[in-house]
Chains A and B, each alone.
Chain A
């Protein structure tokens, strides 16, 4: 029974749960919490591609999310573009910014890469905060329009918004699953396991790292674009490194380098925070130590540890089944 939950059946159950959720809760606030969780889940999926699969800890991820969001905000509010056109522009702009930044930063390895991207994230934050003429500075962008209706389907109500986020999350998971199971995904994992090893296999390091980086920031950029149409207000705070830290936590709780782990992490942690609402500002008094304990005692996260346990069980079962 448990084994059947792993393949398509498990995904179908999750899909069904997501589809019926609005009918079960009936509470707009819950829908908003869940939609926000989906948004960050999409960005976390992207972060997991570069960190979990490829092994490069990019600390500028929230910055790219902000670039996507601000592209939508600036184009719709200041230049009168439609939401959906801006949405596609957001992807293009994020990749266009990510290409030179990725090319420069991926020449650095390990800690250097992480520290460098930390600084890149800070530059993005400071540019957004200081460049008043373009980004409205610390005031932020107010009055971003909701996505225009597609056919008869409008996106004004919380329920419609929920399904919009859910649609993109499903799409994001499906694409990520295709990538992870493809030769490209295996290539990324080979790079994670060691630059020299991967190079010995004939893998072009720079090209593949850059590919992973660009797909990763594209997820972030589009998550940001959805954020802009959902929250409809933007401030420089979105680019803050603490958002990257949040996503790192989601990823780690679930399990680095697994598909379902970051997904479960980014949905369960915000709900946990909702229930610890009195802690909202101080939540890291609890989550900080949890993060440290996880890294020390459960470095593969909940899902990763469970998968490892299952693999060992299966191996033991095979060993027993074999005649002496």
Chain B
């Protein structure tokens, strides 16, 4: 039974991180209908910024996370303006290729600045708790708490603030939103900024139990895509639920099926599910 709860804990950790990354991706898709392949690069840049703030400047963990959030938010908003805004009327293929260009640029840029090596991010929370036989490293508990707090904060932002409501309105109906005076350009930049913040926070939370390197975003972003396809592209609850499903599938799959192949589980789940339901699990049709 301890083993079972251990996997639950791992599942919540993974699921929390995946959900945060997938939320940013799904918000951007909801507004611009662009699968932002560069989202994993935002995640990666966030980890590098936080790493540098902590190791070079001696900034505290939480402030470093905040700093990474701000930098990546600005980066994402600028990317929207320079890359995706000029392509808002282009066909489906071209924004995808532009996103790939952005991804390649950011990865190469990070390699120029920080080099290709694997870096280890320090964390002040190294303790290990023992909850009824389940070993719980402090950082994992922290990830779970922070991820769900962030999801709650995002929910409140989207539903309780005017700024957040403009994002929802725009995702629901572009023309309608324009008619009531919502500035489409501002909302697009805002959405990118929010997605950047979420990616940077997720990266800073997860990096201490993982490593920091230029390709660190690849697997996470690909899984985030699996999640938003499963949850319905553009759906906020779908991204959270999808993230948890994949997180649990991986932690239980790694233990009960095969640790060696754990990274494939998410993709196989996608292939199997889409073979039977091309429209995803939670959606009637797209």
Interface residues of A (CB under 8 A from B): 51, 55, 57, 104, 107-108, 110-112, 114-116, 118-120, 122-123, 126-127, 130, 241-242, 245, 248, 252, 256, 281-285, 287-292, 295-296, 299
Contacts and interface: CB of A to CB of B under 8 A. Distances in A.
B62 to A, nearest CB: 32
B49 interface: no
A17 to B, nearest CB: 29
Chain B interface mostly helix, strand, loop or mixed? helix
Contacts of B229: 112, 115-116
Task: Please list the 5 inter-chain residue pairs (A to B) with the smallest Cβ-Cβ separation, ordered nearest first.
Answer: A288-B105, A291-B101, A284-B108, A284-B104, A292-B101
A285 B108 CA distance: 5
Contacts of B112: 282, 285
B271 A115 contact: no
Contact of A295 (B101, B226, B261, B275): B101
Contact of B35 (A107, A108, A115): A115
B86 A296 contact: yes
Contacts of A283: 108
Interface in B53-84: 82-83
Nearest to A52: B93
B271 A123 contact: yes
Nearest to A121: B222
Interface residues on B, range: 35 or more
B98 interface: yes
Contact of A119 (B104, B261, B270, B278): B270
B90 interface: yes
25 contacts: A55-B93, A104-B275, A108-B274, A108-B278, A112-B286, A114-B96, A116-B274, A118-B225, A119-B225, A119-B270, A123-B268, A126-B263, A130-B260, A281-B108, A282-B108, A282-B111, A282-B112, A283-B108, A284-B108, A288-B106, A292-B83, A292-B101, A292-B105, A296-B86, A299-B94
Contacts of B100: 245, 248, 291
B233 interface: yes
Given A114-B35, A248-B97, A288-B101, 17 more contacts: A57-B92, A57-B93, A57-B96, A110-B92, A111-B35, A115-B225, A119-B222, A123-B264, A130-B261, A242-B104, A285-B105, A288-B102, A288-B104, A288-B108, A291-B100, A292-B82, A295-B94
A242 B104 CA distance: 9
A252 B97 contact: yes
Nearest to A108: B278
A295 B274 contact: no
A287 B94 CA distance: 16
Contacts of A281: 108, 111, 116
A285 B29 CA distance: 26
B281 interface: no
Given A51-B93, A104-B275, A123-B264, A284 B225 contact: no
B87 interface: yes
Given A288-B104, A295-B97, A111 B233 contact: yes
Interface in B209-266: 218-219, 222, 225-226, 229, 233, 260-261, 263-264
A127 B225 CA distance: 19
Contact of A111 (B33, B116, B263, B271): B33
Contacts of B94: 295, 299
A116 B278 CA distance: 11
A55 B93 CA distance: 8
Contact of B96 (A104, A108, A111, A122): A111
Nearest to A297: B86
A241 B96 CA distance: 14
B148 interface: no
Contacts of B35: 111, 114-115
Nearest to B83: A292
B104 A287 contact: yes
B264 A111 contact: no
Nearest to B85: A296
Contacts of B268: 123
A41 to B, nearest CB: 19
A296 B83 CA distance: 8
Nearest to B97: A295
